[in-house]
Structure 1
Amino acid sequence: MGSKLTKRAEDYSKWYNELVLKADLAENSGVRGMMVIKPYGYAIWEKMQAELDRMFKETGHENAYFPLLIPKSYFSKEASHVDGFAKECAVVTHYRLKNDEEGKGIVVDEKAKLEEELIIRPTSETIIWDSYRKWIQSYRDLPLLINQWANVMRWEMRTRLFLRTAEFLWQEGHTAHETKNEAIEETRKMQEVYADFAESFMAMPVIKGTKTESERFAGALDTYTIEAMMQDGRALQAGTSHFLGQNFAKAFDVKYTTREGRQDYVWATSWGVSTRLMGALVMSHSDDFGLVLPPKLAPIQVAIVPIYKSEEQLQKINERVEVITKDLRAKGITVKYDNRTTHKPGWKFAEYELKGVPLRIAMGPRDLENNTAELARRDTLQKEILSQDNLIGRVEGLLEEIQTALFQKALDFRNNLITEVDSFDEFKQVLETKGGFVSAHWDGTAETEEKIKSLTKATIRCIPNDAVEEEGVCVLTGNKSSKRVLFAKAY
């Protein structure tokens, strides 16, 4: 399987980059800042997508698709929105190429200039709200609960596979409501959906909260977030849900006839998660040997490797494994039987360890004689020999146990990295020596927030939903404060 990974303690960033490449999750493409998601990586994304899509539909949402290209004029209709994305937009100006008359290859046909430039979507609010203007006439058309699975482009200069790329995959929900309260309820509901997914499927604990004004989504009145903690003590924003008020409805003239017969603007939300979750999954659980995947998102939950010296032995193992595989799949467990003759068992063990397969079963001639199998779990690297009669039930139980254990380990780690401080000296010391979330009072001003960021590179990750009211003073200015917020250095 090639050279060993750099250890996390030596160089966490290098470890991450090597792991993404060696585990066959993704690689850099021929286009700067854009990645190729390889089949194994995409299989994990498909599992994420399937669970999220199910959760969205269970909460009443439907999928649709909107254009990749957005007229430039649409962006100018909502001022704060365009300010937020202007520096990240890729612009299409021409629609045709031609052969160079001097034989220098293909050039842009200068006669094929578009009358209006088109923006490759950095997000889809503008093009979607242009459609909603035609779809919404009356309160009977509300609520409108739409989700889109798509790719977007935000021109990034400093990229890292999955965490920050110029093009990435995501889903974006866009909803319209009769009342402000309904829209806020929707925004909070989707934050809960994201948190449930992160914790129940990714085994990644998150803190739910709201963003400060300077950290909100461009055009939002409130942004609700889920924040996770990676193993290097840096935070990662894992999903956001935005209350947009009536800003986009007014910008695109989306009115409806109320129950009382008057005209009013609808209330809006948007929410999304992206392939950044892949990076979060890698960094939440993996170790110096490779990926560690929670069973609920592992493309292969159980890998079975035969150990044999002759074709006759292999044939007997094949026959036994066929029964085991059928029984496991009947339980909804994904199994790969790796009886390739091109690689030795030790190579296969290393491959499945690197790729984070939760359970590995090894079976040889002695196991056939004794009716046993060797079972190895990826998260703890523990092995056990057990009777084949108990194998199916043990596999089922262990997959559940691993899922729970990964969450608990990550939760304990995260909780140990939440530190309350009351002075700026403490604040700086914790960031430099311990990392993680720093719980501190803040005076509520953007100036103080920016000053702390410039001095420490730490940002306010969120104002936790469960933050309690308590009298205090700002960690930097000494001005009055009513609650603590969470600061951290972040991806």
Structure 2
Amino acid sequence: MGKYLTKRGEDYSKWYNELVVKADLAENSGVRGCMVIKPYGYAIWEKMQAGLDKMFKETGHENAYFPLFIPKSYLSKEASHVEGFAKECAVVTHYRLKNAEDGSGIIVDPEARLEEELIVRPTSETIIWDTFRKWVQSYRDLPLLINQWANVVRWEMRTRLFLRTAEFLWQEGHTAHATEKEAIEEAELMMNVYADFVENHMAVPVIKGTKTESERFAGAIETYCIEALMQDGKALQAGTSHFLGQNFAKAFDVKFASKEGKQEHVWATSWGVSTRLMGALVMTHSDDNGLVLPPKLAPIQVVIVPIYKGPEQLDAISERVAPLVKELRAKGISVKFDNRDTHKPGFKFNEYELKGVPVRLAIGQRDMENGTYELARRDTLEKETVNEKDVVARIQFLMEDMQQAIYTKAYDYRQKHITPVESYEEFKDILENKGGFVSAHWDGTPETEEKIKDETKATIRCIPIDAPEEVGSCMVTGKPSSRRVLFAKAY
């Protein structure tokens, strides 16, 4: 269980990999670079999906589904887009197998080559914009606000569970608008939706900003992002929203008749988050004992562990606990009564601590006599004795209190690890010895950005949206700079 985890301070990477596997979130599969998301991990992802899907629909978006396969010719229609994804594409060339004539096994039938190769989607802009051409005729058809929940494939060589896998799950939104202003507003809206979800459901504080030109999504005019900080001082991009201008509309000839009767190209956005959020959730909150899950995303919010001798005591405890389970569920709190007789209470305590269950109740013979429960909260590991008539109210309070406490702890860590610097030497020292976000002046050129990346492995994570104008000098070149940007080493 948790006590057999590598400590974060010893090897953070190893701790993360062990925790994801031991907490039953995911495991490596027989397909290189791909993962199996186990039921407990998928239950967390389902809660993420449900929360995000509700927010999407509240902002007027509808779900649809588009093909997994994209004709190669589609991908080549937007030059910067294909350049950005070409090295990561999986390509389907044949459509049939056959038995080898020498009996050595199954081979690809050379006679079954496709007339045009199909790309397994790395993202769906091209197939969706080809479809939008048929859906958009008039200004009355706009805005078109579409989202899809899907899997995508990007052929990664170095993979890591949740953070970077060859296949991953995500949602991708694609919208078409009559004006540039509407499309920019949409891209900014979805960045704010993501920030709201990540902060208020995942309890992960984020910084909202825009990407530099070299870090933008392939084919975007502007990329908006939310950046989070992990406990090892590395940043993680938690979500992106892109203003695509008219690039894809022109590439796929998506036009509409305006109110004045003119034919105009639409304005576009795309935006997405993926199962990478699972990695962010684990790395932001968890400790050396295992997962720490915010109550809003915990598959099991309360677990009740009976401590008993013999079936008669278990039956009595079960009878006492049944109304509590019913009442908690009626209040929307997920609860599990673990009456397995194959594991001892100590094992169960460790198991649920490792899995990050927010609240654990224990009830034994003495509690039965006193009308009490022993309550333990996962984030602080504090224990208390609670009268059974107060236990529901106490759990309801803890659901909110823990959600806020987990966020506050992560926020305080993040704030302590935003360090302003003036010189390049100071910048290098902070990166090496403290980590976190480094706030520094940059001259705005891709050459300086690349030099910093080559020499320090740090990238510009974002140009913060709320960053005030501040006249200064680039820490590398000394050239004028009008505002600070945030650098960090990142996942």
Could you say which TM-score interval applies, normalised by the shorter chain?
A: over 0.9
Deviations 1:162-215 (A, max 9, x none): 000000000000000000000000000000000000000000000000000000
Q: Would you say 1:257 and 2:257 are equivalent positions?
A: yes
- Residue equivalent to 2:234: 234
* Rounded Cα–Cα distance in structure 1 between residues aligned with 2:290 and 2:4: 9
* Rounded Cα–Cα distance in structure 1 between residues aligned with 2:125 and 2:254: 13
- 1:310: Cα distance to partner? 1.7
List aligned pairs for 1:38-437, cutoff 5 A: 38-437=38-437
- 1:386: Cα distance to partner? 1.2
* Rounded Cα–Cα distance in structure 2 between residues aligned with 1:438 and 1:84: 27
* Rounded Cα–Cα distance in structure 2 between residues aligned with 1:358 and 1:9: 24
* Rounded Cα–Cα distance in structure 2 between residues aligned with 1:2 and 1:32: 28
TM-score, with normalisation over the residues of structure 2?
Answer: 1.00
- 1:470: Cα distance to partner? 1.1
Structure 1 gap segments, 5+ residues each: none
> Which amino acid counterpart does residue 151 of structure 1 have in structure 2?
N
* Rounded Cα–Cα distance in structure 2 between residues aligned with 1:202 and 1:135: 36
Native 8 Å contact 2:3 2:288 kept in 1: no
* Rounded Cα–Cα distance in structure 2 between residues aligned with 1:315 and 1:293: 31
- Residue equivalent to 1:6: 6
- 1:425: Cα distance to partner? 0.6
* Rounded Cα–Cα distance in structure 1 between residues aligned with 2:3 and 2:24: 14
**SS of structure 2 residue aligned to 1:427:** helix
**SS of structure 2 residue aligned to 1:92:** strand
Distance 1:2 1:373, change over 3 A: closer
Structure 2 gap segments, 5+ residues each: none
* Rounded Cα–Cα distance in structure 1 between residues aligned with 2:39 and 2:308: 29
Deviations 1:352-389 (A, max 9, x none): 00000000000011111100000000000000001000
> Which amino acid counterpart does residue 12 of structure 2 have in structure 1?
Y
* Rounded Cα–Cα distance in structure 1 between residues aligned with 2:399 and 2:30: 39
Q: Percent identity?
A: 77
Q: Would you say 1:456 and 2:451 are equivalent positions?
A: no
Deviations 1:13-50 (A, max 9, x none): 00000000000000000010000000000000000000
Deviations 1:101-128 (A, max 9, x none): 0001000000000000000000000000
Deviations 1:211-256 (A, max 9, x none): 0000000000000000000000000000000000000000000000
Native 8 Å contact 2:438 2:488 kept in 1: yes
> Which amino acid counterpart does residue 38 of structure 1 have in structure 2?
K
- Residue equivalent to 2:476: 476
> Which amino acid counterpart does residue 330 of structure 2 have in structure 1?
A
List aligned pairs for 1:436-455, cutoff 5 A: 436-455=436-455
**SS of structure 2 residue aligned to 1:24:** coil
Deviations 1:419-442 (A, max 9, x none): 000000100000000000000000
* Rounded Cα–Cα distance in structure 1 between residues aligned with 2:191 and 2:280: 17
- 1:3: Cα distance to partner? 6.3
How many residue pairs end up in the alignment?
Answer: 491
